[in-house]
Amino acid sequence: MKHMLCLALLGLTPLLLNSCGSDADETPPLVGSTQTNAGAAGSAYQKALAADQAGNSKKAAKLYGKMADAYPTAPDAAQARFRQAQLLEQQGEMVAAFDAYSTFVKRYPGSKLYSQALEREKAISQMALDGNVKSGFLLGSKLDTTKLVEMLGKVRDAAPQAASAPKAQFQIGQVYQEKGKAAESIAAYRKVVADWPDSTQAPEAQYRIGMILIEQAKRGNQDTGNLDRAREALEDYLSLYPNGARAGAAKSQISQLNQQDVQRSLDVANFYKRKGDHESARFYYREVLKKHGSGPLHDQAQAGLKSLSSAE
C-alpha cells in the first residue's frame, strides 16, 4: 500500500518523496549535521561569545554550557565547553568547573585544548584532595567522600596509561583510609598494584594493605585469618619489591606478627592447661616450640610441657 501511494505521488515534491524510502532513510540526522542545526549552533555560540566579551562571565558560562549541551558535535562546541570550564573556575565554582573539564576531556580527545583541560582536571582534583574545594551544597563544607572519589576516578580514567592514573587510584585509597573505610581502601590499593605494578605508588599501596589489616587487628578484629592476610600482604611486598623503601619495615612487621602468632599459641596452651585438657595443651605448647627455637616464649612452652608431665 505504501509502495502504491509513493508511485502515485511521483512527480509532486521532493519533500513527499523523502517519506517513501526505507526505515534507514527516516533516521534523524546527527545534531549539527544539517544546515539548520549548524546555523542554530553558530548563533548560540555567538550569543555566548557576546556575553563573554561584554564581561558578563556568569551569563557567558551558562550560554556556553547550553550551546555545548545542545550541539555537542558543532564546530564550536569544544571551544564552548572549554571556555565554560574556564569561566566557572575563575568564578570559584570549582566542582562545576571540574565537571565541565571532565566532559570536555571525555568528548574531545582530539582537540588542541585537550592537554590543557586534562591538566586543569588534575589540578582541581588535587585541590579537592587537599581540602581546598568546598561543596556547593553547604557553605564552607568540604567535599564528601563520594564526590571526591568520583573526581579522582575521572582523572584516572581520562588517561589510564599516564602517570596520573595510578596516582589518582592511590589517592582514592588514601581517601577511604582516612575515613576509616578499611575494605574500600584495601580494594583501591589492590587495584593500584594489579593494574599499575610498576608505578611509583604500587609498593606503598601494597605495604598499606598489610598495615590496614594490622590496624584492624589492633582495634579488636584479631581473628587468625585477618592476621594471616596481613602477613601475606607484607610478604607479597617483599616478593614484589625486595628493594623497596618499606622493605625493612615490612620485615619488622612480619617478625612482630610471627611473635604475636606464637604468643597466641602459648596463651591457648595455658588456657587448656588450666581447663585440665592436657592433650590440647601439649599440642599448642609443641606448636610454640616448632615456631620458636629459642627465646622467652620457647622457654615458657618447655616449662609448660614439663609441668604437664610432672602433674601426671
**Predicted confidence (pLDDT) per residue in 298-307, tens digit:** 878 788 788 8
For 114-168, the DSSP string reads HHHHHHHHHHHHHHHHTT-SB-SSSTTPBPPHHHHHHHHHHHHHHSTTSTHHHHH
Q: Angle, nearest 10°, between helix axes 145-158 and 164-178?
A: 170
Q: How confident is the model at residue 273 (pLDDT cuts 50, 70, 90)?
A: confident
Q: How confident is the model at residue 220 (pLDDT cuts 50, 70, 90)?
A: low
Grid coordinates of 94:
570549582
CA-closest candidate to residue 126, choices 151, 92, 99, 150:
151
**Residue 130 predicted with pLDDT over 70:** yes
Residue 176 exposure: Cα atoms within 13 Å on the Cβ side: 23
Neighbours of 220 (CB within 10 A): 6
CA distance 281 to 266: 9
Q: Which residues on adjacent β-strands are paired with residue 134? A: 142
For the chain, the residue count is 312
Greater model confidence, 219 or 85: 85
**Predicted confidence (pLDDT) per residue in 153-205, tens digit:** 999 999 999 999 999 999 999 999 999 999 999 999 999 999 999 999 999 99
**Predicted confidence (pLDDT) per residue in 71-83, tens digit:** 999 999 999 999 9
Identify whether the C-beta of residue 68 lies closer than 8 Å to the C-beta of residue 80: yes
Q: What is the pLDDT of residue 35?
A: 53
Alpha carbon of 310 to those of 11, 178, 275, 306, 307: distances in Å?
118, 54, 17, 6, 5
Identify whether the C-beta of residue 96 lies closer than 8 Å to the C-beta of residue 136: yes
Structure pTM? 0.76
The region of weakest confidence among 12-16, 199-203, 233-237 is 12-16
